[in-house]
Amino acid sequence: MMQAKILIVDDQPIFRRGLRACLEERGFAVVGETETPDGALEQMLQTEPDLVIMAVGLIGGSGIAACREMRVRNPTVRVLLMTAHHHYQTDLAQMQGFLAGASAYVSKRLTGDQWHETIVQILNGRVLFPDEVIWKAHLKEALTPREVEVLALVAEGMTNEEIARRLVISPHTVATHVSNILSKMRLSNRHVAAQFWRMTEKGTG
């Protein structure tokens, strides 16, 4: 079995050296290191890694934006985003990482064994985001602002007529929005949609 090839992207040389040693001890081949988004894209094209381990905050740009560009250039490459900062570990930040095509979003403080296990799972095709983050990401990506409004009111138990009065639109238009929501989210009925919304909102709080 060939060694998995890994590219490390982080603006701290000491961290890069430590992570490189950790990964090489566990049988991975580190094919490059860099500290900028442009360098990451260039090295990805040159070294063709199986996995890019990349910090969210980089010199000269965003790791999330770089992840998105990498996945456009090479849809087969997997990207593991990482951060040491708590304010980058919110649901919103993770959702942005998921929508950019990352396979996971983790703390830089993982142990050696945790790095190994996470990488193995990603290389085996796993996407390691919490379910609620994935739900929110799909919600943000799929629904229009008006559909989100309608879904929130459905979750409050309102009928189509009540929603129509609240939003000053026709009941027929509400019914169309509800139908579109169910279709886009692949949900069976409005009761399931209401449960979905309440779970999402619970996760937000």
pLDDT per position as a tens digit, 70-92: 999 999 999 999 998 765 567 77
Is residue 74 classed as helix, strand or coil in its secondary structure?
A: coil
Q: Which residues contact 157 (CB under 8 A, 6 or more apart)?
A: 194
Check residues 60 and 6 and name the one with the higher pLDDT.
Answer: 6
Q: Which residues contact 60 (CB under 8 A, 6 or more apart)?
A: 36, 37, 38
Residues of the chain with CATH 3.40.50.2300: 5-129
Q: Which residues contact 9 (CB under 8 A, 6 or more apart)?
A: 33, 34, 35, 36, 37, 39, 40, 52, 53, 54, 55, 58, 63, 66
Q: Are 67 and 102 in contact (CB under 8 A)?
A: yes
Give the model's pLDDT for residue 85: 76
Give the model's pLDDT for residue 1: 47
Q: Which CATH architecture has domain 5-129?
A: 3-Layer(aba) Sandwich (3.40)
Give the model's pLDDT for residue 201: 66
Beta-bridge mates of residue 104 = 80
| pLDDT tier for residue 204 given thresholds of 50, 70 and 90 | very low
Residue 188 corresponds to which tokens in the numbers above?
A: 């069976």
CATH of domain 143-204: 1.10.10.10
| pLDDT tier for residue 139 given thresholds of 50, 70 and 90 | confident
Mean pLDDT, residues 191-199: 83
Residues of the chain with CATH 1.10.10.10: 143-204
